[in-house]
Amino acid sequence: MNNNTKKINETTISFSVYAGATEYIGTAQATLPEIALKTENINGAGLPGEYEAVITGQTNALNMSLQFRGLSRDVVALMAKNNNIIELRPVSQVRDLGGTPQLAAQKHVFSCQAKNLKPGDIAPGSPQNVTVDFAVYRWEAFENGKSVLEIDKLNFIHKINGVDQLAEIRKMMGRV
């Protein structure tokens, strides 16, 4: 990679939250899922102690939270759906190494189910801070229109920058 393509991510300018691809559902803050690969402690005869083996493409459960400024019909409706498609569309300010500021588009698409609604607090002159927690079954992240991450728990897919870490395992299992 040459220096002309390297950029410093300075900040998220703003983002939108959508149910499906078109229904804007409000002003929010998002906590994205933590990607923690599963591990197994290995020990026994012939090893001087133990080590932690990272299991290819296997992750712990993925969870996401959205915190909205207030309770609304659209926010509550997220609890009624068994399969929500949530899109987050952040726009970031980046700077190339020549010092020129630029915009970068991201998109995060989640297939998820709401599992918890915290209605927040009510106080004069303050947002209510309603939080909805989701179990995530599929997450695909895009940078400037290009997929950089795809984890699909139900279809045995774990792609990093277009390379599926589980493709060979699916093939060996007969799940093409």
Concatenating the DSSP letter of every residue in 152-164 gives ETTTTEEEETTEE
Average pLDDT, the chain: 93
Q: For residue 173, give the 3-state DSSP assignment.
A: helix
Rounded to whole angstroms, how far apart are CA atoms 27 and 156?
Answer: 33
Cα four-point dihedral sign 52, 58, 60, 65:
positive
* Spans of the chain, pLDDT less than 70: 1-4
Tokens standing for 87?
């899109």
For 121-137, letters b (16+ CB in 10 Å) and e give eeeeeeebbbbbbbebb
Q: What is the pLDDT of residue 4?
A: 54
Domains present along the chain, CATH in parentheses: 7-34+61-173 (2.30.110)
Q: For residue 80, give the 3-state DSSP assignment.
A: helix
- In this structure, which amino acid lies at residue 2? N
Tokens 């012939």 locate to 46
Q: What is the pLDDT of residue 146?
A: 96
